[in-house]
């Protein structure tokens, strides 16, 4: 037996194996603890709990490192494309030219939705949040494609994966088109993955639409940066739902709902709304930062802080630079960007943020780019979801390929009333 940890409870000692990951992370394996001792561990928020072993992504929060399958996020952002990164995450290695061509072709030819599917969007109120539409639409892919739902059949999984990656931009754009009352566009399979998404979002049947290469590249970069982030809230949700043997579409739909929350992916919408509110209320950056620190006020400096990164978020560094580049190339002068920079400078020098190790995260500058290219704020989180899709899929596949696969089922410490006799309503 390798290294172990000892746990002493009363006069009994339990020996617990220590396991080590490839990057030297160590964990005490407690998988037999309850059967041997009757004890469980309690870790609300799971800050100290490893839910699985995974080969998909590595984060070192102290050193600001993020790698997908061993490749640094900086290098992928510089050299790769979103579809190549998607392949890397989902298959586990970079594709050859032939593999990439075949993957791209398959994605390209699965972009269309069944005509009846359009009713799903039309049934929603115009102001329905696109994340509601996306999660409903992704779950609804299951009844439209019942031929490929078996999580244990690799061929069926592959078909579902390609359908989902290909159709997600179509679904997201239909949520948007419905909200503004414009006709749904058909995908244009001559375009790149991102080019097609921009076409679906911004083209109309009345006139030609040209994809701007600067915007296309910027969105591709943002999708790469969002593609995976190990066991975050939405990914853990996808894994947990998948562990019940729910199909891929049902599992990812649940992940979309988890991502929607303002403490997770919903923060990108909140950041832009926060910046706009600061501007329209005429607050100074300092006044808002003071408010975000106050325990009497529920507002936080959204886009700051992270459960894992305690030094800097490498994605935020890349996005901040891209933000300046893109706005410069597009000739956009953004007051919101100036305000974001001002708030960041104040917060990074403020003891409250320094002591709590709160730095800008991935959501802080991404919205400024989306805003500058004319994307409405309520679409930002749906764009995050398109980016996170390969990560969710990679983690869902890894779960099913694990020989130690088990349904996810945490325990609890019950703190409610002890056994109580039922009293009929007349006696209460």
Q: How far is the CB of 303 from ligand CMC (least distance, A)?
A: 5
Is 387 near ligand CMC (CB under 6 A)? Answer: no
Closest Cα partner for 407 from 285, 253, 295, 246?
246
Spatial CB neighbours of 156, under 8 Å, sequence gap ≥ 6: 147, 148, 149, 150
CB of 202 or CB of 364, closer to ligand CMC: 364
Question: Which residue among the candidates 363, 400, 402, 421 is catalytic per the annotation?
Answer: 363
- With CA atoms as reference, report the closest residue to 76 among 62, 88, 63: 88
Rg, C-alpha atoms of the chain: 23
Would you count residue 110 as binding ligand CMC (CB under 6 A)? no
Tokens at residue 422, please?
A: 């039922």
From residue 224 to residue 243, the character string flagging contacts with ligand CMC as x (rule: CB under 6 A) and all else as - is --------x-----------
Angle at 132 between CA 162 and CA 280, to 5 degrees: 120
Query: Cβ(393)–Cβ(248) under 8 Å?
Result: yes
Q: Which of 81, 170, 247, 302 binds ligand CMC (CB under 6 A)?
A: 302
Mention every residue, 6+ apart, whose C-beta is less than 8 A from residue 296: none
Q: How far is the CB of 358 from ligand CMC (least distance, A)?
A: 5
Q: Does 265 bind ligand CMC (CB under 6 A)?
A: yes
To the query of whether residue 147 is one of the catalytic residues in this protein, the response is: no
Kindly tell me which of 178 and 320 has the beta carbon lying closer to ligand CMC. 320
Taking the least distance from each CB to ligand CMC, the nearer of 307 and 349 is 307
Smallest separation, CB 405 to ligand CMC (Å): 26
Q: Which of 217, 264, 276, 291 binds ligand CMC (CB under 6 A)?
A: 264
Q: Tell me, yes or no, if 188 is annotated catalytic.
A: no
**Distance of alpha carbon 348 from alpha carbon 220, whole angstroms:** 29
Residue 381 sits in the site that holds ligand CMC (CB under 6 A): no
- Asked whether position 292 contacts ligand CMC by CB under 6 A, the answer is yes
Residue 268 Cβ, how far from ligand CMC at the closest point, in Å?
8
CA distance linking residue 250 with residue 239, whole number of Å: 11
Rounded Cα distance, 95 and 98, in Å? 8
Whole-number minimum distance, CB 17 to ligand CMC, in Å? Answer: 28
Q: What is the distance between the alpha carbons of residues 129 and 124, in angstroms, rounded to a whole number?
A: 9
Q: Is residue 360 at the binding interface for ligand CMC, with CB under 6 A as the rule? A: no
Q: How far apart are CA 143 and CA 123, in angstroms?
A: 17
Site string (175-194) toward ligand CMC, x via CB under 6 A: --------------------
Among 230, 307, 316, residue whose Cα is nearest residue 268: 316
323 sits near ligand CMC (criterion: CB under 6 A): no
Q: Which of 285, 303, 314, 391 is in the footprint of ligand CMC by CB under 6 A?
A: 303
CB of 309 to ligand CMC, least distance (A): 8
CB-CB contact of 260 with 138 (8 Å)? no
Can you tell me the distance from the alpha carbon of 290 to that of 280, in angstroms, rounded to the nearest whole number?
18
Regarding 301 and contact with ligand CMC (CB under 6 A), the answer is yes
Considering the rule CB under 6 A, would residue 356 count as an interface residue with ligand CMC? Answer: yes
Residue number closest to ligand CMC, CB atom: 305
Query: 211 or 336: whose CB is closer to ligand CMC?
Result: 336
DSSP 174-206: HHHHHHHTPPPPPP-TTS-HHHHHHHHHH-BTT
Q: Stretches 28-36, 319-327, 354-362, 402-410: which one binds ligand CMC (CB under 6 A)? A: 354-362
Residue of 162, 270, 306, 313 with catalytic role? 306
Compute φ and ψ for 14, nearest 5 degrees.
-115, 135
Which residues share a beta bridge with 67?
58, 72
Query: Is residue 224 within 8 Å of residue 80, measured between CB atoms?
Result: yes
Q: Which residues are catalytic?
A: 306, 363
Q: Which residues bind ligand CMC (CB under 6 A)?
A: 232, 263-265, 267, 292, 300-307, 356, 358, 361-363
């Amino acid at each position: 037996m390798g290294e172990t940890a000892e746990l002493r409870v009363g006069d009994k000692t339990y020996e617990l194996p220590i396991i080590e990951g490839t990057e030297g992370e160590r964990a005490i394996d407690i998988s037999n603890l309850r059967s041997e001792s009757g004890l469980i561990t309690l870790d609300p928020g799971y800050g100290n709990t490893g839910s699985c072993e995974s080969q998909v992504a590595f984060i070192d929060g102290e050193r600001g490192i993020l790698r997908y399958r061993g490749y640094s996020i900086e290098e992928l952002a510089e050299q790769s494309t979103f579809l190549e990164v998607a392949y890397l995450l989902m298959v586990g290695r970079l594709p050859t030219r032939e593999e990439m061509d075949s993957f791209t072709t398959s994605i390209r030819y699965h972009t269309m939705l069944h005509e009846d599917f359009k009713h799903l969007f039309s049934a929603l109120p115009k102001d329905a949040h696109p994340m509601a539409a996306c999660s409903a639409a992704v779950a609804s892919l299951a009844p439209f494609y019942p031929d490929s739902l078996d999580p244990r059949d690799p061929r069926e999984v592959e078909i579902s994966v390609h359908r989902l990656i290909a159709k997600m931009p179509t679904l997201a754009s239909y949520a948007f088109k419905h909200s503004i009352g414009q006709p749904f566009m058909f995908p244009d399979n001559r375009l790149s993955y991102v080019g097609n998404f921009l076409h679906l979002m911004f083209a109309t049947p009345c006139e030609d639409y040209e994809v701007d290469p600067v915007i296309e590249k910027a969105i591709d970069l943002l999708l790469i940066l969002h593609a995976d982030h190990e066991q975050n809230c939405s990914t853990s949700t996808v894994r947990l739902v998948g562990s019940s043997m729910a199909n891929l579409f049902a599992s990812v739909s649940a992940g979309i709902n988890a991502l929607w929350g303002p403490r997770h992916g919903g923060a990108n919408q909140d950041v832009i709304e926060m910046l706009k509110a600061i501007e329209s209320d005429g607050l100074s950056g300092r006044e808002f930062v003071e408010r975000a620190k106050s325990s009497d006020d529920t507002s936080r400096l959204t886009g700051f802080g992270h459960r894992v990164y305690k030094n800097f978020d490498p994605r935020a560094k890349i996005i901040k630079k891209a933000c300046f580049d893109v706005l410069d190339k597009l000739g956009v002068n953004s007051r919101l960007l100036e305000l974001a920079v001002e708030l960041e400078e104040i917060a990074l020098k403020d003891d409250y943020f320094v002591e709590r190790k709160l730095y800008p995260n991935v959501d802080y500058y991404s919205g400024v780019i989306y805003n500058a290219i004319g994307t409405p704020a309520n679409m930002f989180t749906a764009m995050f979801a398109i980016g996170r899709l390969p990560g969710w899929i990679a983690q869902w596949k890894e779960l099913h390929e694990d020989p130690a696969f088990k349904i996810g089922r945490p325990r609890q410490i019950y703190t409610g009333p002890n056994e109580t006799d039922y009293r009929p309503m007349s006696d209460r």
